[in-house]
Amino acid sequence: MIRNLPVLCGLHSRWLREAYHLWPTGPEVELKRFQKAVALETETCHYCRGLRGVQHFECCKLLPDPDASHEHHWVQILPDDSEVIAIALVLDRHSDISSCFHPAYRCESCEAVIQYFDAFAPNAFLHTCPQCGTRYRDADPLSEFCSWTCSQSWHAKYWEERKMHRTPTEKNYVLRHILTLEQMVAKATDEIYRERARRALEQLRSRDPDETVRNSAREAIARLSGQDRGVG
């Protein structure tokens, strides 16, 4: 569980959530490394520095909720079919956050429009947590959960449900992924990647609800054990 984070602006709170759910579950030392990366990532952010009382920038003003009378429900503004979608890496000069995908959003209720890189005042937006139902406020208009505990619980349940209802295409992807993990263990030069791949294989072997996937992971582990012993 992530704890003792520095004060973050709404943009970096969102960046942290997105990055964290892509970060492989691992030992405490990896989580500490991730938290250190978060701290370094935010050292140059104008908004974070201002909220921490370190340095204020006249170029950066935290915005208010465009309509504080209700809880917003934001949807992406999709381009017309006639428009050309240009995909390019954009760096926000105030937060130093970069993204290839930075859409605008419109509230379904009030038609207010916000941009991906807009930064808002602390507790500007009202939300309802889908995991526990708590009403809470924070600075990220796209925030989803009231706590890290609720976020982890919801995502764990979501992925378990996805496993139980895989399409044939999704199942084939997982089986190919097992072969990729096996190659990572056998050939990766950095021990941290080999260890992550080993843990992922072990988790699939022991916890996946699909017997075919469990057997495939078990066979991959057996092949790797044979290589370690010089067999085969």
pLDDT digits (tens, 9 = 90+) for 104-156: 999 999 999 999 899 999 999 999 999 999 999 999 999 989 988 898 888 77
Q: How many CB atoms lie within 10 A of CB 135?
A: 10
Contacts of 85 (CB under 8 A, 6+ apart): 79
Task: Report the distance separating Cα 29 and Cα 49, nearest Å.
Answer: 27
Over residues 73-94, mean pLDDT: 70
pLDDT given for residue 146 in this prediction: 92
Q: How far apart are the first and last CA of the chain?
A: 41
Do residues 66 and 114 make contact, with C-beta atoms less than 8 angstroms apart? yes
pLDDT, greater one: 89 or 161: 161
Long-range contacts of 110-116 (CB under 8 A, 24+ apart): 110/66, 110/67, 110/69, 110/70, 110/72, 112/66, 112/67, 112/72, 113/66, 113/77, 114/66, 114/74, 114/141
Over residues 157-184, mean pLDDT: 82
Please tell me whether the overall predicted TM-score, pTM, comes out greater than 0.85 for this model.
no
> With 80 as the cut, is the pLDDT of residue 1 above it?
no
Burial of 147 (0-12, 13-18, 19+ CB in 10 A): middle
**98 membership: H or E segment, kind and range:** strand 98-99
Q: How many CB atoms lie within 10 A of CB 97?
A: 22
Highest mean pLDDT among 18-22, 32-36, 167-171, 210-214: 210-214
- Sheet with 104-107, side-by-side order of all strands: 74-76, 104-107, 113-115
Q: Chain-wide mean pLDDT for the chain? A: 82
